[in-house]
Amino acid sequence: MNFKTPYYFIDESKLLKNLEIIKYVREHSGAKSVLALKCFSTWSVFGLMREYMDGTTSSSLYEARLGYEEFGKEVHAYSVVYSAEEIRQVKKYADKIIFNSVSQLKMFGNEVRNLDIGLRVNPGISYSHFYLADPACRYSRLGVSDKKLLMKQVPHISGLMFHFNCENADYKNFSFNLDYIGRKYGALLRKMKWVSLGGGLYFTKHGYPVDKFCKKLKEFSERFEVQVYLEPGETAITQSAELVTKVLDIVRNKTDIAIVDASTEAHMLDLLIYRTQAKMNVSEAGKFRYMIAGRSCLAGDIFGIFNFKSRIKVGSILKFQDAAGYSMVKKNWFNGLPMPAIVVKRLNGKTEHIRSFGYNDFKADLS
């Protein structure tokens, strides 16, 4: 392979490992999985993903349309808030529409009465490493928290959505919280046809007790006689992609700093938002220590500090791992930097250059 850097490199064989676990969960628990497009919308690999998943779930009109056009199967449409025009559009694509509030349900429920209608519930519990991503944080606008108000909506809805996790790889925590939801909302659940447990459940992580997870989901489904849905995002694509970059310069300011032809601000924005370090396949025992920095003018554009077994040179290729989730959907034109291309290695071993982004894209996006 000799592609111009930077580029996102998706390996379908690595993607398949996650998809096979998702399929296993469906077969052994009955829970269906719909891909969370807010995390990953790179539709050039939807052909593989649709073989193992049941559809898509969206956070906007555009995502719902993309799921309908490029993934097929079920289309779940959720949005924190819809405009009247968006409702008129989204009902053409969705099978299920999930409202965030009772007021939105009252505004638009009659307009989409031919669809399966659901409400998002804020159960007051959550799991998140970051306050910014905590769906049950103080004053959260995400979902209905008034149980009595929810019960009054039973004649108008057929399902509920509980999205209360973010990167939760703790099965015991999930199990405890699911039991809590069953106790608190059991009477409501028994009147529903389906329930979504949202995303943020890292059940494809190595060592996760998948069989216990399946048993728990199946028991919940049978107890309340509901079809359970999961909304995997990062769980579906974790460890399946890299951001491939090239070192353009090395400078020193009390430490060696290698500057690559990519940027956290523009190409891996979540690293900045959550103040985390990029992942690289390097050894902690390496004796050559470098700060890896992006090429934007933002002082904090830093991928992280890593140890290498040998010295880095101008022209060295550096690969940041686990770069699929919340990266391509958030890439932007900050500093007018070239966006990374998208490259996919198919299951048959063939590598395809899917798309590059150039000046005309930059100009068109900014009018």
Q: Which residue has the tokens 């659901």?
A: 118
- 277 Rama sector, left if φ>0, alpha if ψ -120 to 50, beta otherwise: beta
Alpha helices of 91-209 — where are they, by DSSP H? 102-108, 147-151, 171-189
Determine the Cα–Cα distance for residues 187 and 192; give it in Å rounded to an integer.
9
Domains of the chain in sequence order:
12-237 (3.20.20.10), 239-365 (2.40.37.10)
d(CA 133, CA 229) in angstroms, rounded, equals: 21
If phi over 0 gives left and psi between -120 and 50 gives alpha, with beta otherwise, what is residue 322? left
Q: Strand, helix or coil at 30?
A: coil
CA distance 324 to 41: 10
Q: How many CB atoms lie within 10 A of CB 213?
A: 22
For helices 12-29 and 210-224, the axis angle rounded to 10 degrees is 40
How many other CB atoms sit within 10 Å of the CB of residue 240? 25
pLDDT tens, 290-302?
999 999 999 999 9
- Helix, strand, coil fractions of the chain, as percent rounded to 5: 35, 25, 40
CA-based nearest residue to 255, from 200, 219, 304: 304
Determine the Cα–Cα distance for residues 189 and 228; give it in Å rounded to an integer: 11
Q: pLDDT tens-digit profile of 122-165?
A: 999 999 989 999 999 999 999 999 999 999 999 999 999 999 99
Per-residue pLDDT tens, the chain, 367 aa: give them.
689 999 999 999 999 999 999 999 999 999 999 999 999 999 999 999 999 999 999 999 999 999 999 999 999 999 999 999 999 999 999 999 999 999 999 999 999 999 999 999 999 999 998 999 999 999 999 999 999 999 999 999 999 999 999 999 999 999 999 999 999 999 999 999 999 999 999 999 999 999 999 999 999 999 999 999 999 999 999 999 999 999 999 999 999 999 999 999 999 999 999 999 999 999 788 899 999 999 999 999 999 999 999 999 999 999 999 999 999 999 999 999 999 999 999 999 999 999 999 999 999 999 9
CA separation for the pair 220, 228 (Å, rounded)? 8
